[in-house]
Amino acid sequence: MQTTSSVLLNRLMARARLRHMQVLVQLAELGSVRRTAQAVGMTQPGVSQIVADLERMLDVTLFHRHSRCVRPTPACTDVLPLARQMLLGLAASAEAVSARRELGQGVVRLIASTSAINGLLVRALPEFNRANPAIQVQVREGERDDQMLAIARGEIDLALCRQPPVVPEGWAFRALLEDRFVVACAADHPLARRRNLELAHLAGQTWLPSPAGSAARVYFDAMFARVGEDVRICQVITRTLTLTWELLRQQPLLTVVPYCVVAHLVDSGELAVLKMRDAMPMEPIGLMTALEGPGAATARLAEYLVKFTGKPRTRERGAGKPHR
């Protein structure tokens, strides 16, 4: 029983692969297994095998074999227009993807620490989005362990983070924002207007601690371990910044935080930072980027963040300094 052209087309769409289409079209146009093999980058036996696969798949003879050439059968002629159309569609899609990349369009997968989000992204990202509406930035919040895991799994394109003790293989770290720990409090706290404060002045205060394991908590514990003072602790522990700020506004509490996290509230007069005699240093916030293969959209966001902060220096893997 003769196979109808509609049945052939359905079988072709359901079962054939891109390589099948390429060989089918090239062999029909060139009429030579040798020339087809050269055109598609295969061996002659490879081309013959593809044709045999197609004929078995479609249950028809596609080519008449002659001593010096091959010629398409009527069944082959029936399916050629669809094969050509599918190849043209794939080529058009590839060109569209390439054009979108050149225009800086696409998706950027970004992981950022809480400090980086509050200290940089809340200011920089709205402006970037207005200037680049076709770029979708997927922001995921995560601290150092989450960031390193996401990099290892290939789940992100950029990381905004503290300078790590070791930069992952194939990535580079670029410092963008200097930062320091500060003691934050309500703007009307009794200590807010005093200068040259020392830890001894703060020991009798009530503190809102950061969660265990956070950089701020590690610094806080070490700070008071040095002076050997007992401290009063508020019985609320939270990672939620909105709740932290509200507790500071309503109660005479102190907390240790990175300055970049609280800077906007200090600028607005809602909170204050104490004027300590000794500096409270911490690692800068920076941008971690892959050394090879970033897409145009990723490169555009990275370049924008560097310009936004005005910090062009780069530190590549192996050049990291120890974590404080």
What is the DSSP annotation of 178-239?
--BEEEEEETT-TTTT--SB-HHHHTTSEE-PPPTTSHHHHHHHHHHHHHT---EE-S---S
pTM exceeds 0.85 for this model: no
Tokens 């916030």 found at: 285
The matching CATH number, chosen from 3.30.70.260, 3.40.190.290, 3.60.150.10, 1.10.1280.10, for 181-273 is 3.40.190.290
Residue 79 banded pLDDT, cuts 50, 70, 90:
confident
Query: CB-based burial of residue 305 (10 Å sphere; 0-12 exposed, 13-18 middle, 19+ buried)?
Result: buried
Cβ atoms 134, 103 nearer than 8 A: yes
pLDDT value, residue 241: 86
Q: How far apart are CA 153 and CA 54, in angstroms?
A: 38
| pLDDT (average), residues 100-110 | 70
- Mean pLDDT over each residue of the chain, to the nearest integer: 83
What is the average per-residue pLDDT within 298-303?
A: 92
- Rounded to the nearest 5 degrees, what angle is found at the Cα of 136, between the Cα atoms of 135 and 141? 135
What lies within 8 Å, CB to CB, of 135 at 6+ separation is 104, 105, 106, 107, 108, 128, 129, 297, 300, 301
Kindly report the backbone phi and psi dihedral angles of residue 274, in degrees, each rounded to the nearest multiple of 5, phi listed first. -75, 145
Q: Distance between CA atoms of 72 and 64, rounded to whole angstroms? A: 6
Q: Is the pLDDT of residue 262 over 50?
A: yes
Instruction: Give pLDDT tens digits for 122-141.
Output: 989 999 999 999 899 999 98
223 band by pLDDT with thresholds 50, 70 and 90? confident
- Structure confidence at residue 323 (pLDDT): 35
Check whether 229 has a pLDDT greater than 60.
yes
Report residue 244's pLDDT band, with 50, 70 and 90 as the boundaries: very high
| Confidence tier at 102 by pLDDT (50, 70, 90) | low
At residue 320 the predicted structure's pLDDT band, cuts being 50, 70 and 90, is very low
For tokens 């359901």, name the residue: 14
| Residue 322, pLDDT above cutoff 50 | no
Query: Hey, what CATH class is 5-101 in?
Result: mainly alpha
* The CATH number fitting domain 103-176+284-316, selected from 3.50.50.60, 3.40.50.300, 1.10.760.10, 3.40.190.10: 3.40.190.10
What residues does each domain of the chain span?
A: 5-101, 103-176+284-316, 181-273
- The residue that leads in pLDDT, 63 or 88, is 63
Determine the 3-state secondary structure of 316 from DSSP: strand
Confidence bin at 312 (pLDDT 50/70/90): very low
Between 220 and 227, the higher pLDDT residue = 220
